[in-house]
Amino acid sequence: MHRPTWAEIDLSALRHNLQEIRRRIGANIKILGVVKANAYGHGDYEIGALLVKNGVEMLGIAILEEGVHLREKGITSPLLLFGGFFEEQIDAIIHYNLTPTVYDLTLAEKLAHHAHSAGKTVNVHVYIDTGMGGTGVRHDVAFECIKHLTEMNGLVIEGIYTHCSSADDNDSTNTERQIRNFKDIIAKLDTAGIIIPLKHMANTGSILRYNDSYFTMARPGLSLYGLHVSDKESRNLSVKPVMSLKTRIIHIKTMEPGETLGYGGSYKITRTTRVATLPLGYDDGYNRLLSNQGRVIVRGNKVPVIGRICMDQCFIDVTTIKNVSVGDEVVIYGRQGKETISIESVAEQRKTIPYEITCNVSYRVPRIYIDENG
């Protein structure tokens, strides 16, 4: 039996979302499925394996260790390492056959040297800063940089890419400028006869809004997981949430007016109250700022979280719920009966984005994979 606090991962929803994205971008555009951060908390191996089986071109990871994990689990498809790397990680990058991102000539030279002396070539993607800041080669010097890279033995430039800083904004100025900057570089490369097969830019936000950001490959993350940046956003891509978070009532007791509940006595009992305890706390990723604010679903009804969320437990008010009993399934994120608690709505309540909500579901919450038609 798995732990009775678990994240249910719906693989048929994932497959559906991939199809929806493919329909949106068209059959000629390749897909890089983003599985960094343990696939946004959904389980990198299981998600990655399904995506590869369903024809995605590459998987995207943020750090070396994620690539090592996927390789050790048996994933053989190309893995694009988005994040930078340190010199001392070069041997591992080559050993695990990862596709590193380059944007620094000195480091690229070291990579080329290691590869060349190991008798290998490494596929790389050049990351161009068209307006995000942070890492990346600045777009105004990118052409020169790429020219230098083409001369390095041991490296093959398989791709160039950039990343949108503002694809979710209502104001399209920044994204349009980024698209223009990226197109300018591509035009220069074309003129110079430098052929780079993969050119990519689009994350979920720009898949939804900017058809001319697709180039030869798109890089969806959030939309694969069936999520939108906010609850208010127009739902013009019909994806389904992949993750639900569930638990079961472990204890129920009646408390009387005048008593207080939990750490700090932050919740004062004002009427006879049936308090249910859930084996779910902030170490599971149920954020403590939801104390006295969260809502969950029991027996098809939404009920409030009362008192402070503890490390391993929290409390809900089930006074109005008929026949509620120990062992009842409680939905934290997801659907039960006619009620839904969307991850987007929890993100809004927490003043964050859905990404952080699913990423925070912690290591000790087992992921249970379900697949209706797999």
Ligand X SMILES: *Cc1c(COP(=O)(O)O)cnc(C)c1O
Name every residue whose Cβ is closer than 8 Å to that of residue 295 and which is 6 or more positions away in sequence: 302, 303, 304, 305, 341
For the bound state, the minimum distance from the C-beta of residue 285 to ligand X, rounded and expressed in Å, comes to: 18
**Per CB under 6 A, 203 contacts ligand X:** yes
314-317 and 301-306: which strand pairing? antiparallel
Phi and psi at residue 217, to the nearest 5°: -155, 145
311 labelled ligand-binding: yes
Measured in degrees and rounded to the nearest 5, phi and psi for residue 171 equal -80, 120
Report if residue 204 touches ligand X, rule: CB under 6 A: yes
Residue 263 is among the residues annotated as catalytic for this protein? yes
Closer CB to ligand X, residue 204 or residue 213?
204
Judged by CB under 6 A, the residue of 222, 237, 275, 298 near ligand X is: 222
> Which is closer to ligand X, CB of 23 or CB of 147?
23
Token match 């559906």: residue? 16
Binding track, positions 12-51, relative to ligand X; x by CB under 6 A: ----------------------x-x---------------
Q: Which of residues 140-169 bind ligand X (CB under 6 A)?
A: 163
Q: How buried is residue 63: exposed, middle or buried, by Cβ count under 10 Å (0-12/13-18/19+)? A: middle
Rounded Cα gap, residues 126 and 143, in angstroms: 11
Using alpha carbons, list the distances in angstroms from residue 102 to 82, 182, 189, 308, 360. Answer: 9, 16, 17, 46, 29
Q: With CB under 6 A as the rule, give the number of residues binding ligand X.
A: 12
Catalytic residue status for 363 = no
Q: How far apart are CA 25 and CA 20, in angstroms?
A: 9
**Site track for ligand X across 166-195, x = CB under 6 A:** ------------------------------
Which residue is associated with the tokens 């030279």? 109
At 35, list the tokens: 């599985």
Which 73-92 positions form the footprint of ligand X (CB under 6 A)? 82
Least spacing, CB of residue 1 vs ligand X, in Å:
33
CB closer to ligand X, 11 vs 222:
222
String marking each residue 114-133 x if it binds ligand X according to CB under 6 A: --------------------
**CB within 8 A of 136, min separation 6: which ones?**
103, 127, 128, 129, 130, 162, 163
Residues marked as catalytic: 36, 263
Q: Which residues bind ligand X (CB under 6 A)?
A: 34, 36, 82, 163, 203-205, 219-223
Annotated binding site: 311
Bind-site residues for substrate: 311
